[in-house]
């Protein structure tokens, strides 16, 4: 559940390139801001495993289910953020770890685009 006291914070221009970016809030919190075309997501920029900055990671599609012997493919409709240190993967919407979604997650934030700016509720 999200805290209602969180405020919308202007974090970037919408001209930011596709990919993963680090944003520092005034209170010192780091945000990993992700963009793919017209879609935006924001996660706390700290990996719950050993504290890596997730904004140094990569975004790619989730590995699609397949049978043994079938070629592995990525589902770009379900992007994940891959931690740069040990490869843990996180759902960019919920922040949940794909390997242990019930116990391992990174905080996710709501994002909106308004007047050419990207806003994060943090």
When binding is defined by CB under 6 A, the residue of 41, 88, 90, 119 that contacts ligand FES is 88
Look up tokens 């790619």; give the residue.
60
- The token pair at 59 is 């975004």
* Closest distance to ligand FES from the beta carbon of 117 (Å): 30
Reported as half-sphere exposure (CB side, CA atoms, 13 A), residue 57 has a value of 28
* Nearer to ligand FES among residue 82 and residue 113 (C-beta): 82
When binding is defined by CB under 6 A, the residue of 14, 39, 50, 58 that contacts ligand FES is 50
CA 24, CA 118: separation in Å to the nearest integer? 14
* Nearer to ligand FES among residue 83 and residue 118 (C-beta): 83
Q: Note the residues at the interface with ligand FES (CB under 6 A).
A: 47, 49-50, 52, 83, 85-86, 88
């Amino acid at each position: 559940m999200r805290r209602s006291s969180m405020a919308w914070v202007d974090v970037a221009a919408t001209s930011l390139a596709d990919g993963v970016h680090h944003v520092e809030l005034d209170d010192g919190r780091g945000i990993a801001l992700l963009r793919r075309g017209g879609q935006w997501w924001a996660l706390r920029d700290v990996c719950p495993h050993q504290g890596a900055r997730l904004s140094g990671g990569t975004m790619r599609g989730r590995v699609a289910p397949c049978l043994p012997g079938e070629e592995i493919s990525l589902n770009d409709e379900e992007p994940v953020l891959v931690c740069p240190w040990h490869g843990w993967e996180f759902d960019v919407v919920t922040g949940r770890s794909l390997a242990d979604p019930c116990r391992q997650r990174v905080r996710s934030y709501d994002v909106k685009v308004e007047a050419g700016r990207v806003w994060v509720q943090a």
